[in-house]
């Protein structure tokens, strides 16, 4: 999952080791990386940077060094200069370094994004380069498609077991009648099965299957056979073990190589990694694999502005090469391939899902701290709570879109 840009930022080259190495204890043990003190004087530029930041945040009812849970508290004086110079990347990295804090990051970002401060800050040359990189280059080609699996999803199955629900579902839950995370995720999985009108004996493709939560649920409760594709080696190995005895197959492969018929198709939380330059080819793959009369359910986070650019901090530390689609981009990409039968937006439920993940992450931190340092902890809580704030402010959406090849005779009816 991904959040919109917060302020203009610059691009850094991603470490070759990715998240698998980032934040793990060095030989000397845990600790926070310190940056050199900025050279300044009381009359220098830092004072001006602090004034600009204070004025901007006041528009969102956020105070610098205030005492409310969502106020931003500085631990070092050079944070405003760093944030204004480096934008989103500077904001996130300075939090990771322990240079500022807030008791409720989720509330801070709800206010900042709700006040549209991201549009108040002029785009810098560095951000322009980041923007052009994402618009001109195919960052989700066959070679790069494996980067997110290696950097994010291969972080460790034991890590995700403690943060996620019992089925290991790393997508938005459906909270309408749910009292907890397990219930919300099973409600979402059941809703997908009902929207696809699954029947025993049918063959279902899951594009971006993760640890197999959807396939396992569908096989257990609806009697279908499932094939799932993933670019994460650890997910595939874990999923095969969990689904032993079920008609479920995991394939470690790029989705573009799938070419065989299925009765129905689901893609849950993977389309965010496809990239706008590959939207059409993604749907062409789905169309060639979907039998006439079948349904395709796409579950994806979406953005409301077509030409916005992935957040530089998330791109570096959480989801390399991620690219949220807009509704217009999806509609264009499916033209003359599918009929859009139904669109369901329950993005507000992602707020509760992310906060539930954060609660479980914080509870498991004493165990995680044996392997990861404090900087990793701050990175991960920043990711979860900032994204929760973005969904709470309704700046990003969660869509379930049901598609059919030629249109459902008599019309499609969303199950209640």
Which residues does the annotation mark as catalytic? 387
Question: 301, 272 in Cβ contact below 8 A?
Answer: yes
Strands (E), 107-232: 203-207, 225-230
Return the sign of the alpha-carbon dihedral for residues 352, 358, 362, 363.
positive
**Partners of 268 in the beta sheet?**
299
Tracing tokens 């997508």 back to the chain, one arrives at: 171
DSSP letters of 311-329? -HHHHHHT-TT--PPBHHH
DSSP letters of 8-53? -----PPPTTHHHHTTB--TT---PPP-PPPP--TTSHHHHHHHHH
Burial label, 98 (beta-carbon count in 10 A; 0-12, 13-18, 19+): middle
| 108-to-105, 119, 252, 315 alpha-carbon distances in Å | 5, 17, 39, 21
Mapping DSSP to helix (H, G, I), strand (E, B) and coil, where does residue 100 land? Answer: strand
């Amino acid at each position: 999952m991904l959040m919109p840009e917060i302020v203009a930022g610059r691009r850094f080259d991603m470490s070759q080791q990715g998240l698998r190495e980032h934040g793990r204890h060095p030989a000397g043990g845990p600790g926070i990386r310190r940056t050199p003190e900025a050279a300044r004087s009381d009359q220098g530029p830092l004072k001006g940077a602090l004034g600009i930041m204070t004025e901007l945040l006041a528009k969102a009812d956020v105070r610098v060094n205030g005492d409310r849970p969502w106020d931003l508290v500085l631990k070092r004086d050079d944070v405003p200069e760093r944030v204004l110079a480096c934008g989103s990347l500077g904001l996130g990295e300075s939090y990771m370094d322990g240079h500022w804090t807030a008791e409720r990051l989720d509330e801070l970002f709800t206010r900042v994004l709700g006040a549209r401060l991201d549009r108040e800050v002029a785009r810098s040359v560095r951000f322009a380069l980041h923007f052009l990189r994402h618009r001109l280059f195919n960052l989700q080609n066959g070679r790069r498609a494996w980067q997110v699996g290696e950097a994010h999803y291969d972080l460790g199955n034991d890590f995700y077991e403690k943060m996620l629900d019992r089925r290991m579902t790393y997508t938005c839950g459906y909270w309408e009648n749910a009292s907890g995370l397990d219930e919300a995720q099973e409600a979402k999985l059941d809703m997908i099965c009902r929207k696809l009108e699954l029947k025993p004996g049918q063959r279902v493709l899951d594009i971006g299957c993760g640890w197999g939560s959807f396939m396992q649920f569908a096989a257990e409760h609806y009697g279908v056979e499932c094939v799932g594709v993933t670019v994460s080696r650890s997910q595939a190995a874990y999923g095969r073990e969990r689904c032993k005895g079920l008609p479920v197959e995991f394939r470690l492969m790029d989705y573009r190589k799938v070419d065989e018929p299925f009765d129905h198709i689901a893609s849950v939380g993977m389309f965010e990694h496809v990239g706008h330059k590959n939207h059409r080819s993604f749907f062409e793959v789905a169309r060639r694999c979907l039998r006439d009369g079948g349904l395709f359910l796409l579950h994806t986070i979406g953005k409301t502005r077509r030409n916005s650019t992935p957040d530089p901090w998330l791109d570096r530390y959480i989801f390399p090469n991620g690219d949220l689609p807009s509704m217009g981009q999806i509609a264009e990409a499916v033209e003359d391939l599918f009929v859009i039968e139904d669109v369901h937006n329950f993005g507000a439920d992602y707020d509760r899902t992310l906060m539930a993940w954060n609660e479980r992450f914080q509870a498991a931190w004493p165990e995680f701290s044996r392997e990861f340092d404090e900087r990793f902890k701050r990175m991960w809580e920043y990711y979860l709570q900032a994204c929760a704030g973005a969904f709470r402010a309704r700046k990003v959406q969660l869509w379930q879109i049901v598609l059919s090849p030629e249109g459902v005779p008599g019309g499609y009816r969303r199950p209640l």
